[in-house]
Structure formats: C-alpha cells, structure tokens
Amino acid sequence: MHLLSAGCASAVLLVALLSQVTSLELITGQYGEMLKIPCNSGAIKAEDIAITKWKYDKGDGVPGYLLVKQKNQNVSISATDEYKVRVSMDENSSLLISAAKLSDQRTFTCMVVTGGDVFEYPVNVLIHKLPAKLEISEKAEELEIGRLTKLGKCVAKDANPPANITWFKNNKPLEADGKGISIKASVAIESGTGLSTTTSILEYSATKEDTGAKFECRADSLPLESSSMNFTITYSTENIMLEVSPQKELKEGDNLTLKCVADGNPAPTSFNFHLKGELVTVENTDTYTIANVSRNATGEYKCSLIDDTSMEATRNITVTYLDINLSPSGNIVKLAGDALNLSLQIDSSGKAEVSWTKNNTKLDKQPDFTKLGYSDSGRYEWTVTVGHITRTASFDLTVEGPAVIKSLFKNRSNDGQHKVLTCEAEGSPKPAVSWSINGTLLSESPFINGKITHKIKVVPSANLTVHCTVTNRLGVDSRAINVSSYQSEDSDQTRLVVGVIVGLLIATLVIGLAYWVYSKKSKQGSWKTGEKECGSSEEEKKLEEKVEENSQKAEV
C-alpha cells in the first residue's frame, strides 16, 4: 500500500474539508467484460490535476482504496483484496476493472486534487448479463379441448437482472386469465455467481381454433426467443360432411368418388356409406368410388360414423345424360318441290339447347323443309347440349329435279359484230347445255343452287332458228329462238325507208287535192256574198307551207 508523506497528507486532509462532491453518475457494464469507469469526464484539465485517487464503498460507509496516481508519477495500486489484480487506470484517469462481476455493482469514487481544491466524482455501477438462451422443456404431447394442460416450461438461465418471460401464441402475447391460461413464473439465484435463472410454466386449455397454432416464449426487452412449437389438438367429432367428386357435374360414364369428412381429431378412419339404400362399410379410408356411373345412379347418398350412426351427412346426386336420335339421317335425296319430314328425339336429364348449322354456318332458326328447293341442298348438323354434354347428328341433303330452261334470249354485242345468245336453265344434277349451231362459248356460270347460265356468240349469214337444249338424267328441255342475218336486217331497213317516202308522197297529194277543192269553194262563196278574200288568202298560205313541208320529207 502506497503511503503519502505527512505534509502531503495534512494538506489533503485540509482541503478535504473544503472538498466538492458532484452528483452521482450511473454506468452499466457487461458481465465478464472490461469495466471502464470515467473520472470527472474531462471537467478538470489533466495538467491541473495533482493527485487522482480511486476508492469504492465496501458497505456501511467503509471505503476501500484501489489506486492512486500523483502528477508525473506512475500509478500505485492500493488494493489488498481481489481488486489488486483486476484494477488499472488509463491516461484519462478512468478506472479499469477486468472481468466484470455482479460483486462490482457498487459505488466507485474518483478523488481529484488540484492546486487548492479536492473534487469527488462518485459513479454507481450496474452489471448486466443476458441469459445464454431460452429453452422450452417438458412439452406436452397433445392438447385436449377444454382441459387445462401443462404446455411447457420456459427457462432463461444466468441473467442479470432476472429475465422477464412472456409466452406468445401466433406472435400474440398470452396473459393469465384464471380460466384457460395459467402462467407461473419463478426466479432462482445461483449462489456462486449471483446470476438469476427465470422459469415460466404455461398451462393452456385448447380450442379447435388452436389447431396448427405456434407457441413460443420470449425474454422481454431482450433479443431472445425460443424456437416455436405446435401441438396436436384432440377433440371428438361434432360434424360430418359428405363430399362428392367431380364437384361441378357428374356425367354418365364418369367415376363418382364419395368422401366422408369428420371434424374430430384424430379423424375417424372408418365409415358407413349408404348408396341409395345399400350399406357399404369401409375401413382405414374415408372414400368410396363408383366407376362408370349410369343415369340410374341418380339419387340420395349418405355417410355416417360406424360407432355413431346418428351422425350422418346426406347429398342428392344427379347424373347428367343425353341421348338424341335424328330421323332420317345419312345421305338424303329428294325432288324439288317435295317435303322433308324430320324427327329429332331428345332424352336428357335436363333442358336441352339445340342449334343448327348448314355447311358449317350457324342458322338463326330450324330450317323449313315443307317445300324443297335446290338451295336447300347441303350438309345439316344438329347440335344438342345439356350441361357439359354435347351430342351431334347430321345428314346430307341433295335436292334433284329435271333440267328446265327458264329463259332464252338474244342481244347484239357492243361492237355490233355478232350476236349473243343466252340460255338460263335449272335442274339437278347439273344440266348439260347444247346448241343447234356452232358458236363461240363466251361464259358458263358456276352451278349454284341448281342454276346455270350459258352464253355463246354467233355471226349468222342467213336467217335461222337456234335451239338451246338442256339435259340431265331426270329430264330434257329445249327452246328455239329466231336469229336473222345482218343482210336481211339491212333489206328490211331499206323497205321501211321506201315505205315511209311513198306514204309521205301520198299524203302530199291528198293535202294538195283538199287544198284545190277548198280554194274553189271559197271563191264561189265570195262571189255570191261579196266578202273580201283576205281570210281565204291566209288559209291558202298555210296550205302551201304544209304541202312544201311534206314534199321535203318525201325527198328525204
């Protein structure tokens, strides 16, 4: 132990009477690590300090001296107990204590002597230690609904201060309610280290909703939590349900699977299936399958528990089916003008939707075959749908009739060099067209809906009669048309002009004769009555103009 000189000690004692004590500072150190306790926090400059001395409170006001340092001298260790090998001081006069322990939780005081004053800086020290980990032990194997059961024990070892443990279910904290949740916590102090071990026991009364729930424990305000755990929740069956597959629609020919679902845990493994009055028991399974169901499988089905037949579930099952029969079908040949009587019979489990197409084109309504025409020929298809079942029926209709000429006519070509003969016919099979003279084929229309148009051009050298003949295996038809040559047409035009001229000449002679007779009578009248001839002169002038006009026409 280092001793001060008597004079120096007297001086220290004197100024101690005038010492100033600062307010208490609090620091926290970590268990097992180096503990650093500051002195005056830079309030006094290092060059103004004559002596620095550290002491601690042993209890009951008894101080324990640790070390002292005088200006321009090395640190002198004063401690004689365990601190002797654990204390030191850094260049800032901070006290350093190695391997912090819980016994270091006390007040340490730094005494600083300057030229005329003594200052004390007390520091209160707390030592903290996190628990090593959180562990859950004594876990329950399963939880029974409505029964308070010990779920597990959570332990936080070697901590300071003691850990405060909270239980969580699905990340939500649990609190004891005296009914379905009981939490018992205790703290034990280890005599050698003074560290604490906290134990928390959770007792829990489960419900069905706790199936799959995750439980864990955590240390409050500390970054520690246990691994989560979940439990099997056991309870008796309260409800039973019958599931059917396929769920949407069961069609004739499908496989029907029945599944009995019970909400008990563990779930029952054996069931009774009631198949339209027939009882079938299955073991170690909850399903029963009926392969390739028929329409007769429609009806009521049930499933029940073997040990409690009153607990059952019921489902009404409908098997969807569809049968159609179209008569007649296949290839149908009819004559134009005849009727086609169709019969479509539908046998189904529900209302059927029917649509029609002709040559793959959808029709707005059912076709009418009361009087067949060539345009009715084609492929017809009936599509019938019930639910997800679709059936089709079809036939190919051919409307036939003998070849018939509908019209035969002639036209002069645009260039005036030849004549165009057109023969329009109908019938089925396609009529063959022939002419009684050789001509150049201009065009033949496509054979559509029993109709065909045939055009030829001819340049007749004389007047003649031309025949158009159409033929198919059901009949023959022929028509004639008169066709004149271009020379004959010119002669006819000449005769027409001569006739017009002769007519005009005769008309002129008649008018002249009438004029002469009229003039004679007019003159006799004037002699008898003595009237002036002025009016007669005007009339004579008009007659002369008319005669001249007719003469000009005749010359033309």
Q: What is the pLDDT of residue 43?
A: 76
Average pLDDT over residues 47-61: 88
Domain span at 263: 240-317
Per-residue confidence at 22, pLDDT binned at 50, 70, 90? low
pLDDT digits (tens, 9 = 90+) for 304-326: 999 888 899 999 999 999 999 99
- Pairing label, strands 432-435, 378-386: unpaired
Percent of the chain with pLDDT over 90: 55
Quote the CA–CA distance of 492 and 498 in Å, as a whole number.
10
The answer to whether residue 226 is domain-embedded is: yes
Q: What is the pLDDT of residue 283?
A: 92
Quote the CA–CA distance of 89 and 226 in Å, as a whole number.
41
The answer to whether residue 539 is domain-embedded is: no
Question: Which of 296, 317, 338 is the C-terminal boundary of a domain?
Answer: 317
Average pLDDT over residues 106-121: 90
Q: Let me know whether 34 and 119 are in one domain.
A: yes
Q: Let me know whether 87 and 169 are in one domain.
A: no
Q: What is the pLDDT of residue 532?
A: 39
Tokens of 281: 């028991």
Question: Which of 483, 467, 449, 470 is closest to 406 using CA atoms?
Answer: 470
Return the HEC string of 29-74: EECCCCEEECCHHHCCCHHHCCEEEEEEEEECCEEEEEEEEECCCC
Q: What is the pLDDT of residue 440?
A: 84
Q: Let me know whether 137 and 124 are in one domain.
A: no
Q: Let me know whether 42 and 118 are in one domain.
A: yes
The answer to whether residue 262 is domain-embedded is: yes
pLDDT at 465 over 60: yes
The answer to whether residue 88 is domain-embedded is: yes
Question: Which of 438, 467, 483 is the C-terminal boundary of a domain?
Answer: 483
The letter for the amino acid at 302 is K
Average pLDDT over residues 158-178: 91
Instruction: Say how many C-beta atoms besides its own lie within 10 A of residue 94's C-beta.
Output: 18
Q: Let me know whether 48 and 114 are in one domain.
A: yes
Buried b / exposed e along 295-328 (16+ C-beta atoms within 10 A): bebbeebbbbbeeeeebbbeeebebbbbebebee
Tell which wins on pLDDT, 220 or 434: 434
Quote the CA–CA distance of 385 and 393 in Å, as a whole number.
12
Question: Which of 317, 346, 364 is the C-terminal boundary of a domain?
Answer: 317
CATH of the domain at 108: 2.60.40.10
Name the least confident of 204-213, 228-237, 341-350, 532-541: 532-541
Q: What is the pLDDT of residue 522?
A: 57
pLDDT digits (tens, 9 = 90+) for 418-438: 889 999 999 999 999 999 888
pLDDT at 396 over 50: yes
Per-residue confidence at 106, pLDDT binned at 50, 70, 90? very high
User: What are the strands, taking DSSP E only, across 160-277?
Assistant: 165-169, 172-173, 181-189, 196-204, 215-219, 224-225, 232-234, 240-245, 250-251, 256-262, 271-275
Q: Let me know whether 122 and 41 are in one domain.
A: yes
Give the C-alpha distances (Å, rounded to integers) separating 365 from 199, 350, 382, 449, 527.
Answer: 85, 21, 11, 20, 96
DSSP bridge partners of 33: none
pTM: 0.52
The answer to whether residue 495 is domain-embedded is: no
Q: Let me know whether 166 and 143 are in one domain.
A: yes
Helix (H) or strand (E) holding 24: none
Q: What is the pLDDT of residue 459?
A: 85
The letter for the amino acid at 455 is K
Q: What is the pLDDT of residue 499?
A: 60
Q: What is the pLDDT of residue 4?
A: 34
Tokens of 219: 């240390």
Q: What is the pLDDT of residue 542?
A: 52
Average pLDDT over residues 527-542: 44
Q: What is the pLDDT of residue 405?
A: 95
Tell me which range, 116-120, 142-146, 269-273, is most confidently predicted by mean pLDDT.
269-273
Average pLDDT over residues 198-202: 94
Q: Let me know whether 251 and 311 are in one domain.
A: yes
The answer to whether residue 35 is domain-embedded is: yes
Helix, strand, or coil (residue 233): strand
Tokens of 359: 């040559």
The answer to whether residue 323 is domain-embedded is: no
Quote the CA–CA distance of 289 and 284 in Å, as a whole number.
15
Return the HEC string of 310-322: CCEEEEEECEECE
Tokens of 439: 């001509």
Burial class (CB in 10 A: 0-12, 13-18, 19+), 75: middle
Centroid of chain to Cα 47: 81
Q: Let me know whether 76 and 124 are in one domain.
A: yes
The answer to whether residue 275 is domain-embedded is: yes
Q: Let me know whether 182 and 270 are in one domain.
A: no
Q: How much is the mean pLDDT over the chain?
A: 84
Tell which wins on pLDDT, 483 or 514: 483
Q: Let me know whether 57 and 108 are in one domain.
A: yes
Per-residue confidence at 513, pLDDT binned at 50, 70, 90? confident
Quote the CA–CA distance of 353 and 383 in Å, as a whole number.
8
Helix, strand, or coil (residue 525): helix
Per-residue confidence at 507, pLDDT binned at 50, 70, 90? confident
Per-residue confidence at 229, pLDDT binned at 50, 70, 90? confident
- Pairing label, strands 240-245, 76-77: unpaired
Domain count, the chain: 4
Q: Let me know whether 283 and 199 are in one domain.
A: no
pLDDT at 548 over 90: no
Name the least confident of 357-366, 440-449, 481-490, 542-551: 542-551
Place of tokens 């009914």: 179
Quote the CA–CA distance of 12 and 114 in Å, as a whole number.
10
